[in-house]
Amino acid sequence: MKDTLDTENPRKAWMSLMALAPEGRVASLLASVGAPPTFTWLRVPEIGSTMVRGRAGATGAPFNLGELTVTRCALTLDTGEVGHAYIQGRRKADAEAAAVVDALMQTKLADTLQEAVLDPLISEMAERKAARAAKAAATKVDFFTMTRGED
């Protein structure tokens, strides 16, 4: 997983980022920007599943590992932009907030949202990952050889 936004497909990057955000976080950051925009639903938030796949031997043929709960929705802003969200878990409010941000990122407000919503999410995710990686690193074994008493 990348710590920074994918520059080739920024939309993919911000949608992924919001899918991994903790519960309620996108909505609270969005609220800091101002009153939410008005929109109409293209698809009201809906809970379903995605079949997660793995590969035999990590690199071979795919197999079905099990399902993941997912919430999705789509909406159109009154100004015409369409926002989508597909996020892990059963989180309708979070899906709505992510779809609103996705749509707003296609408007003139993109820079504002980048700064107020996406940048904090990026740094928070990096912090969470780094904290966990640092704890894992502390459990790394440093082998050393005992002196052999043969001479």
Partner 1 sequence: MYVAVKGGERAIENAHAWLAEERRGDVTIAELDVAQIREQLSLAVNRVMAEGSLYDPDLAALAIKQARGDLIEAIFLIRAYRTTLPRFGASAPVDTGAMACDRRISATFKDLPGGQILGPTFDYTHRLLDFKLAAEGDVPEAPSREAQTGDVPHVTGFLNREGLIEEAPQDDTPPPDLTREPLEMPADRALRLQALTRADEGFTLGLAYSTQRGYARNHAFVGELRIGKVPVEMDIPELGFAVEIGEVTLTECETVNQFKGSKTEPPQFTRGYGLVFGQAERKAISMALVDRALRWEELGEDNLGAPAQDAEFVLYHADNIQATGFLEHIKLPHYVDFQSELELVRKLRNAAGTGQVQEAAE
Task: Give the residues lining the site for partner 1 (CB under 8 A).
Answer: 1, 9, 11-12, 15-16, 19-20, 46-70, 72, 74, 84, 86-90, 129-141, 143
Least CB distance to partner 1 at residue 87 (A)? 6
Q: Which region, left, alpha or beta, applies to residue 70 given φ > 0 means left and ψ of -120 to 50 means alpha?
A: beta
Is residue 49 within 8 A of residue 88, CB to CB? The reply is: no
Return the ∠ at Cα 28 (arms to 24 and 29), rounded to 5°: 120
Q: Which one, 47 or 93, has the nearer CB to partner 1?
A: 47
Write the single-letter amino acid at 132.
Answer: R
Shortest distance (Å) from residue 34 CB to partner 1: 26
CA-closest candidate to residue 99, choices 30, 35, 32, 51:
30
Cβ(55)–Cβ(24) below 8 Å: no
Q: Give the shortest CB-150-to-partner 1 separation in angstroms.
A: 21
CB of 89 to partner 1, least distance (A): 7
**In this complex, which beta carbon is closest to partner 1, that of residue 74 or of residue 104?**
74
Task: Considering the complex, state which of residue 34 and residue 48 has its C-beta at the smaller distance from partner 1.
Answer: 48
CB closer to partner 1 out of 35 and 146: 146
Q: How far apart are CA 36 and CA 10, in angstroms?
A: 22
